[in-house]
Structure 1
Amino acid sequence: MKKLLVILSILMFSFGSFANCFGKFGVLKTMYGFHAGINVGSGFVAKLVRTILMYIPFFWVYGFASFLDLVLFNLIEFWTDSNPIAAAEYDFEGKLVKEFRENGGSLRLTYTKWGKEMMIEAEGNKGKVTFFAFAEKPGKLFQKENGTLVERTEAEGPALPPGFAL
């Protein structure tokens, strides 16, 4: 019995390394978002209250959420290539848009086909540049020229024009 317990323990602790894939961890992100939204006081007091709430009353909730994310939803994502929790970020057509703004510039990432394609739109003081990336062609960026996609390589120079700041 003791030998079986040791073997099961080793298998459970090494599960993450065997899976070789980590999911979106939607349940844990929701928990972190809940705790980040707790504002009691400011500065050190707020951090102390969030830390106490995290470790004392909610440690079992974090453990359960970690188990669900790491084991159950990660396995579903690994075998089906879709995560039922993280899929909520996309609309019904499989599109997700994220925008970032800083210092007068903006960056818009538009994921389509459930994350298989991405359009990157960067806008700054020198104009707008659009790139495309595809999951089946990792590490490559494309731009549209005369209606066709042309691959951009690093040897062609910087992707953004000189003086282009975000």
Structure 2
Amino acid sequence: MASLVNYKGLQVVESPSGDGGQALTDDFMTLGDRAPNVSDSDPGSTDDDSKGYFAGSMWLNKTSQTLWMCVDATVTAAVWKSVYRRTTTNLELIPDETDGSVSISGGLSSIGLDAGFSVSNPDQSAQIKNFWFPRNGDLKGGWWIQF
């Protein structure tokens, strides 16, 4: 009888027999590789290819609620970029460290009773193409403004 072993939180067959068993084990291991590593800390430069990380690997710091993505897994020189941070009430996109910008391609939609929009740095410009104002808090009626 085959025995199961833990692989990144999944139970996989240690020594599968036959092509079908090997295919299932390989699939589960690939799934485990694609799931974020969950830790109490941020990733570092030594969280690299030698530890099984690759460009595209994800890492979740469960203490700060920050999701990271590996962009270069070179041994002892891995590069991880923060993607977003979850707070009690917000999902914060983390800006590019070179110019402080956050780019959203393809547009941004929001539905809610709060029709506010703000720019945290008033010295920077913002472009709004359209905006939805709910009428009397009723999402069934309101106005779109095209800019």
Higher strand share: 2
Instruction: Provide the TM-score with structure 2 as the length reference.
Output: 0.29
Instruction: Provide the TM-score with structure 1 as the length reference.
Output: 0.26
Q: Report 1 or 2 for greater relative contact order, CA contacts < 8 Å, sequence distance ≥ 6.
A: 1
Higher helix share: 1
